Structure 1
Amino acid sequence: MNHASFYPIGTPGVAWGDAERAQWLARQSVQRSYRDDVVAAIERLRDRFEVRQYGELHYGADHYPLFALKSRDWRDDLPVMLVTGGVHGYETSGVHGALQFLARDAADYAGRVNLVVAPCVSPWGYERVHRWNMHAVDPNRSFTDDSPAAESRALMALVEPFRDEVVMHIDLHETTDSDESEFRPALAARDGKPYEPGEIPDGFYLVGDSDNPQPAFQQAIIEAVAKVTHIAPADANGEIIGSEVVAPGVINYPVKSLGLCAGVTDARYVTTTEVYPDSPKATPQQCNDAQVAAVRAAIDFVLEQGAR
């Protein structure tokens, strides 16, 4: 896939200032409704979960309440499992996979785990089908003590009271063709760096934590998802998106040092899913189902280990 190397905002080699960020923002438009697609679905789940508003984004005239859903039958002797979606708002199946899990599957774990699910961390990006927030900041590189992203700060505040109790955290993402056609060129332009084209993998893969890889955990998820959709192969260099493939469909990143959402706790079991919705071999429903299969497999694996 060939893409132009010049992004239409800014001067090559020069990082954006306020004028360029304003020009970028003017190009963004609402393409779908967070309230209709996400908040309405959460409202339908109020009778089954404790719904907590953990923050609100104020972006100009737009206000976005942030919601998490928790197990009603919370017990201190049960392991805490954290599921996050929509950290990159444009990654649709992360949001809808989390909501589908809550609606159809979470009841299977009642009385066995304490669930916390934040299905749409970045609603501004969800509505505009974008990776960044209003300020051209990537929330998934902003889970740091001095975070520049309100989305990331809000989620960290939500998690803080129980972060030491989280045993498993699965963060639901997608890798899309638009990563190469739009988002990576925009990132290079924003930071005043040259754009280096990459290769989008065709299929599902996982990003583990290089400081705590847990290979058996990652492989259990891959095996479950392989029954739903295809797993991304390594490229000619034995890599996926520039990182060494350490097992079929698995690469590792240093999640904490990169400020990734997967590093928001010190959970023993951590992973980030990457669904490929642009594949001709995958439907939107398959993508949602793959996310759900990953969540279920992650929880099942931890329970089989007898984790507390």
Structure 2
Amino acid sequence: MIEVTSDVILENLFDGVYFVDKDRCITIWNKGAERITGFEKKEVIGRRCADNILRHIDADGRELCLSGCPLAATLADGSVREADVYLHHKQGHRLPVSVRISAVRNSAGEIIGGMEVFTDNLNSMRLMKELELLKLEAYLDSLTGIGNRRYADITLQTRILEQQNHNISFGLIFLDIDHFKIFNDTYGHKTGDDVLIMVGKTIAGLLRSTDIVARWGGEEFIILLPAINPTLLKSISQRVRLFIQRSYLMVGTTKLSVTASLGATLGIPGDTPESVTRRADSLMYVSKMSGRNRVTIG
């Protein structure tokens, strides 16, 4: 008879699990945590989760490690907490996860640490459907793993037909990473590529199941949002901008981040793919001229 210990079960759980002591120093990091975050056990054991590892932020982009950390609150009062947050993946992008935090007590009932269980919140069905389409190389951006310009063109044509024939609204966001050439020249093309991957994956993790993001070319991205209103368009645009700003890469001990300028618009009757894209692109340039790292809607 094979004996299976609790340590073996914990290590092989599909969900991510980690333990921290009273000082929030990580003492256990299972394979699920490695899979979801990209950080190996040897990289995190003995460090604090706030040390440029997970760095959870909430849906409004607030840094929970600086204020409002649910793990710290549970260590203080022993209450179980649940939350939907966005963790920092080793590749730099923000990943949506659901977390459950509970206190760990000794035999005397004293809190000696905390345990967090987390699972990624990506819509698996959406990803499977997209992969069925994007597995054809013609529609896949080989660097970032999101759709390419051809995929965006096809989807945009579909959105325009839906509006014309069924009166279904859509929004388009045109996004350009600020000062990307300077970043590339300073840190090299490999780091520049890593930033493009980070931005693409961060955006993908924020969108609804019906939305798509594609790399338009170079450091430009396009986001298509069906069945949307002006309020939601503004909200999603600002969240995308903020989450790009809150994402970062660690290159050695250097923390690298970028910002982006966005132009957002709703489709209008009579729009063609060229007209709506040109309008969003022009709005993006207004954001550039107004100081960058902002959204212009029109």
TM-score, normalised to structure 1, is 0.22
Structure number with greater Rg is 2
Higher relative contact order (CA 8 A, sep 6+): 1
TM-score, normalised to structure 2, is 0.23
Higher strand share: 2
